[in-house]
C-alpha cells in the first residue's frame, strides 16, 4: 500500500489567503481606476479609426487581422517535482480565492 502523508498547515493557508486578498484588493482598486481611463481613450480611438475608415483614409484587412488570432494556440506543460498535487492545489486555491475576493472588494470600493 502506498503511504501518502500530506503536510497541510492551516496557518500557511490563512497567510496565503490573506496575502492574496490584500494583493487582490490593491489590484482590483487599481484596475477599476485604470479601466475608466482606458475606456475613454479606447472609445475615442475607435471612433477616430471608424471615422477615418468611413472616409477611405484607413483601410482595414479584416481577413489578415482575424487569421493571426486563430493560429496562436501554443500549449504549455507544467512540471511539479517533489510536491504532491494536492498540496499544490490547496495552495493555488487559497491564493486564488483570496486574490479573487480581494479583487472584487477592491474593484467594488474603487
- C-alpha R_g of the chain: 23
Q: pLDDT class for 83, splitting at 50, 70, 90?
A: low
What percent of the chain is predicted at pLDDT more than 90? 3
- CB burial of 22-35 (b: ≥16 within 10 Å; e: otherwise) equals ebbbeebbebeeee
Least Cα distance to 96 among 20, 4, 12 occurs for 20
pLDDT one-digit tens code per residue, 5-58: 667 788 888 888 898 999 999 998 888 888 888 888 888 888 888 888 888 898
Per-residue confidence (pLDDT) for residue 108, from 0 to 100: 81
pTM of the predicted structure, to 2 decimals = 0.43
Amino acid at each position: 500500500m502506498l503511504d501518502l502523508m500530506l503536510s497541510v498547515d492551516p496557518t500557511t493557508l490563512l497567510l496565503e489567503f490573506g496575502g492574496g486578498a490584500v494583493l487582490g484588493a490593491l489590484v482590483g482598486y487599481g484596475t477599476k481606476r485604470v479601466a475608466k481611463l482606458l475606456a475613454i481613450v479606447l472609445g475615442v480611438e475607435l471612433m477616430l479609426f471608424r471615422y477615418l475608415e468611413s472616409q477611405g483614409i484607413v483601410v482595414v484587412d479584416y481577413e489578415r487581422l482575424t487569421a493571426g488570432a486563430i493560429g496562436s494556440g501554443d500549449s504549455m506543460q507544467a512540471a511539479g517535482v517533489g510536491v504532491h498535487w494536492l498540496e499544490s492545489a490547496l495552495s493555488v486555491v487559497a491564493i486564488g480565492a483570496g486574490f479573487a475576493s480581494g479583487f472584487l472588494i477592491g474593484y467594488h470600493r474603487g
